[in-house]
Structure 1
Amino acid sequence: MVMKEKPGPAILRGHEYYEFVADLAAGAFGFVQKARDKETNDLVAIKFMVRGKKTITRNVLREITNHQRLLHPHIVQFKEVFLTNTHLAIVMEFAAGGDLFTRVRDHNGMTENEARWFFQQLIIGIDYAHKMGVVNRDIKLENSLLDGSKKPLLKLCDFGYSKSNIDSVPKSNVGTPGYAGPEVISGLREYNGQLADIWSCGCVLYVMVFCEYPFERDGDPPAAHRRNAIVSQRIRNADYKIPDKPETSPELKDLIRRILVADPKHRATILDIIAHPWFSKGLPRGVLDMNNKLVAEKQHAGYQTEEEIQDIWEQATHASPAQNQHIDHMIDAEYMDINEG
C-alpha cells in the first residue's frame, strides 16, 4: 500500500492564522487536519494537497470555485485557500459530529423521524446548490457531515466531482458506485446532473432507514469485479426491494419508489420530493423560502474572489523537481496497488 502522509503539526508551524490541532485523514496525495483559527478561536478543517501539475489539476480548481459559490447552512462552508512551500491548502468549516455513515452504522439505522430530519436538510441543501448552478455528483453518507449539536445539522461536503452550469454538460462516470444513478454508470454521453443527484439522495434515504444498500444482496460474489458487475446491472434496472418491516410507513415506501426510478425522465424532481407528504411532515416554517432568498443575495463563501483563487491555484501547479519526483513515486505505487488488488 502507498504510505499515507502523517505530517502532524509541522505543516502549520509558524503559520500566521492557523495552528495545528489534530490529524484527521490521509491519502496518497494529501491529508486533512483539524486546526484552530488564531483570531476567532474557531475550529476549521484544512485539506492539504501536494503541489504540482500532476496533482493540482483543473478539476481541483473546479472543486474549489464551485464550493466557494455556495453559502448555505447545510453545506460545509468554504473559507479560503492558501499555499505552503509543498501544498495547496483548502480551509473549510469543521463539522464536529462526524459523518452520517458512522451515525447510521453505530445506531444500526434510524427511525423514520430521524431519517426525515436529515433527509429534509440534505434535499434543502441540494436544492440550493442546484439553484446556484452546481451539481455535486458524489452525494453519499460519508460526504454528509454533522455539526455536533444535540439535534445535529447536516452539512454536505466534498465537491471534487461537482460541475457548474458554466462547465460542459455532465457526462463522466464519476461518484461512488453504490450511490451513482443508472445514467451515470451506463456511460451516457450526457446526463442531467440534478436528476443524478436526486437518485443519490434516494440511496442515502434508503440506507439511513434500512441500514443496507438498495442494490446489494446477501450471497453476492465476494470477488469485487464480479460483485460490482452484478450490482451495476441491478442499478441499471432499478432492481431493489424495500425490506418488509411493519414499522415502515406506506408514505416512505412511496417516496423511495418515486426517487429510485431508472429512467431520469420519470424520476421525482426536488419539487416532487418537497411536495411529498412524507417529506413535508414537520418541515420548519419558512425553510422553503430560504433558498430563494439566499440565491437572490448571491453571496459566496470566503473572502477571496474567483480570480484570486485561480491565481493561487495556478501557483500551486508549480512544484520543485524534488516534489515532482516524489509525486511520480506515489503515482507509480498507487498504480501497483490498484493492479495488485
Structure 2
Amino acid sequence: MILEEIDNVVLGKGREGIVKLALFNGEMVALKRFNGDWMQENAKYVLREILHHQHLSAYGHPNVVTLKGATTIDEDLAVVMEFVNGSNLEDYLLTHGQLSHASSRHLFQQLITALDFCHKAGKVNRDLNLSSLLVAKAENTPFRIPGQRSGSVKTHASRIQHVLKPPFLKLYSFGYSKDRLMDSAPRTQLGLVLYTAPEVVTNAGGSYDGRASDVWSSGTVLAALLYNQHPFLSPSDTSKSTSSQVAALISNSISGKLCIPPLRDPPHPNDAAAIAEFASEVAARDLLKGMLHPDPQKRMTLDQVLCHPWFENRLDLIPGLVASASPSPFFFSHEGNGNGSGNNGGGGDGNGDRMGDQASFQMDESASSSCSSTPASHQANNSNRGNHNSIHDSINNSSTIQQTNNNIASLAASPSSPSSPPTLLKG
C-alpha cells in the first residue's frame, strides 16, 4: 500500500478532522484524518460510520462514494475515500442558482435511488443535507493539482458514466447513520436543524423511524433544487435573528405550513409548452407536500416517491442497477505516510448500540418497490447556503439540533409556538 498526501490541497475541514487530497497506489483519493481529541469522545460513532460506509461501499453503487480503507497516521485514525472532482450541492446551487425542473429532477432522482439502495441495505442516514451531497463533474475529468505547471491526474472512472449524464450526485456522509438490524432504534435529536424532521426535533426520548426522517430531509433538498429556498421559511423569516428563524422553522414544519412561492395561474390552453411546464410544477408540489407531511405516519414513503409521476418522468437511470457483481477490496493498516484529511461527519445515538460483524451484506428485499422500474444511485456532503429567502442564507449553517435547542429554550413560551410545545433537549 502506497499512500501519500498531496501538499496544500485541503478538500474540507471541520471539528471532527480534515480532508485532504492524496494518492493511493497512484489513484487520486480523499484522505480524511480524524481529530484525536474529537475521536476520543466519539470513537463508537466513528466506528459505526466506517462500518456502515464499508458495508455500502462493498457493492460499488455509483452514487455512493466508495470507502477504500482505513489507516493510522501519527496515531490518528484516517480513512481513504474515492475522490469526487466537483463540489457539494450547496456550492453547486450557489454557482448555478435556481435550477430548471429537468435539472432538479436529474439530481433528485440520483439522491432518491441512492437513498433507496441504503435503506434496502438496512441503513438510515439521518443527516442528509446540501453539503452532504457531492456533485461530480464528468468522470475521467483531469484534475490539475494547484501549483502544478503541467500534467494532471485522472480521477476514478466509475460505472456511473455509462448510466447517467452529468452532473452526477454522490452520497458520502454516514456519520449519523444507523443499521436497522445491528443498531438500536433512532432516538437522538441530531443533524442540522434546516433538514431535520419535526418528529426528530420534538422527540422526547422515544424512538422514531429513520427512514421517514430521511424522506423529510430529501424533501428539503428538493425544495432547494426547485425554489432555491427552505420550504418552511418565508422571506420575512430569513431577515430575523437565528433563534427567531429556528422558532419559525419549527413552528411551520410542525404545522405543515409550506412557504414556497405561490402557484401561478394556469396558462392559455393553446400554449402547449406552458401547459406542460405548469403540469410539471403542479406534480412537483404534490410530491413535495407528500414528502414534507409533518406526521411521519402520513408522510410519503420512499417507495411512493419512487413511483410518483414527477419523479418517474424522464427517468434516465438504468433500472435495477444497485450493486456491482463483486465486493471491492477494503484495507486496514496501522501505518500511514503523510498527513490525513477530513470530510465526513461523525455521530449517532448512545442507546444500546451494537456494532456486530457486517462482513456479510444482504439487501432488505422486504422494502422492494412496487413500481415497474427501481432505479439506482446517489451521494452526499454537508452544509447550508444563502440567497435572500434561499435555504443557504437561512439560519447558521452549523446549527445542529443540540446547538439550536440552546438558542430557543424559550420556544415554549413564544406566541408562535404550537399549542402543545415540543420538549427540547438542552444541548
Sort the TM-score into its range (normalised by shorter chain): 0.7 to 0.9
Distance 2:42 2:329 in 1: 20
Please give the residue correspondences for 1:258-269 in structure 2 after superposition, counting only pairs within 5 Å. Answer: 258-269=290-301
Structure 2 residue 27 is matched with structure 1 residue 42: yes
- Are the aligned partners of 1:255 and 1:278 in contact in 2 as well (CA < 8 Å)? yes
- Post-superposition Cα deviations, 1:152-175, rounded to whole Å, max 9, x if no partner, equal 110011111111121000111111
RMSD: 2.5
2:36 to 29, 51, 66: 51
Q: Distance in 1 between matches of 2:208 and 2:327?
A: 27
The offset of 1:42, in angstroms, is 2.2
CA contact (8 A) 2:30 2:81 kept: yes
Whether contact under 8 Å (1:63, 1:160) holds in the other structure is yes
CA distance, structure 2, for counterparts of residue 257 and residue 222 of structure 1? 25
Select which of 179, 192, 196 maps to 1:164: 179
Higher helix share: 1
1:106 aligned to 2:124? no
- SS at 2:297 equivalent: helix
User: Any runs of at least 4 consecutive aligned residues in structure 1 with deviations exceeding 4 A, and if so which?
Assistant: 245-248, 299-302, 338-341
Contact 1:145–1:154 under 8 Å retained in 2: yes
Residue 162 of structure 2 aligns with which residue? none
Contact 1:46 1:92 in 2 (8 A): yes
Residue aligned with 2:321, SS? helix
Partner in structure 1 of residue 13 of structure 2: 26
- Does 2:321 align with 1:290? yes
Indicate whether 1:214 and 2:231 are aligned. Answer: yes
Q: Give me the whole-angstrom Cα distance separating, in 1, the residues matched to 2:221 and 2:67.
A: 23
How big is each residue's C-alpha offset from its partner over 1:272-321, in whole Å with a ceiling of 9 and x where there is no partner? 1111111001113642x223xx39x6x655424xxx69x99xxxxxxxxx
Match of residue 76, structure 2, among 80, 87, 94 = 87
**1:176 and 2:161 are equivalent in the alignment:** no
Whether the aligned pair in 2 keeps the contact of 1:95 and 1:147 (CA below 8 Å) is yes
- 1:198 partnered with 2:198: no
TM-score after normalising by structure 2: 0.63
Distance 1:139 1:285, change over 3 A: closer
SS in 2 for 1:75: coil
| Kept in 2: contact 1:69–1:301 (CA 8 A) | no
Taking only the aligned residue pairs, the percentage that are identical comes to 31
CA distance in 1, matches of 2:10, 2:53: 23
* Contact 2:111–2:169 (CA under 8 A) maintained in structure 1: yes
Deviation at 1:55, TM superposition (A): 4.0
Other structure's SS at 1:121 match: helix
1:244 deviates by 2.6
Q: Aligned in 2, Cα 1:29/1:279: closer, same or farther, shift over 3 Å?
A: closer
Q: Give the aligned partner of residue 63 of structure 1.
A: 49
Amino acid at match of 2:77: L
**Where do 5+ consecutive residues of structure 1 fail to align?**
1-14, 313-337
Whole-Å separation in 1 of the counterparts to 2:295 and 2:42: 36
Task: Pick from 221, 228, 232 the counterpart of residue 250 of structure 2.
Answer: 232
2:292 pairs with 1:303 = no
1:120-154 per-residue CA deviation (whole Å, 9 max, x = no partner) reads 00001000000111100011111110221171110
How far the C-alpha of 1:51 sits from its partner, in A, is 3.0
> Is the partner of 1:124 in helix, strand or coil?
helix
Question: Which structure carries more relative contact order (alpha carbon 8 Å, separation 6+)?
Answer: 2
Is 1:74–1:153's contact at 8 Å kept on the other side of the alignment? yes
The runs of 5 or more residues in structure 2 that have no matched partner are 139-164, 265-276, 336-402, 408-427
The answer for the alignment partner of 1:145 in structure 2 is 134
> For residues 153 and 214 of structure 1, do their structure 2 counterparts lie closer, same or farther at Cα, with a shift above 3 Å needed?
same
Q: Which residue of 1 aligns with 2:423?
A: none
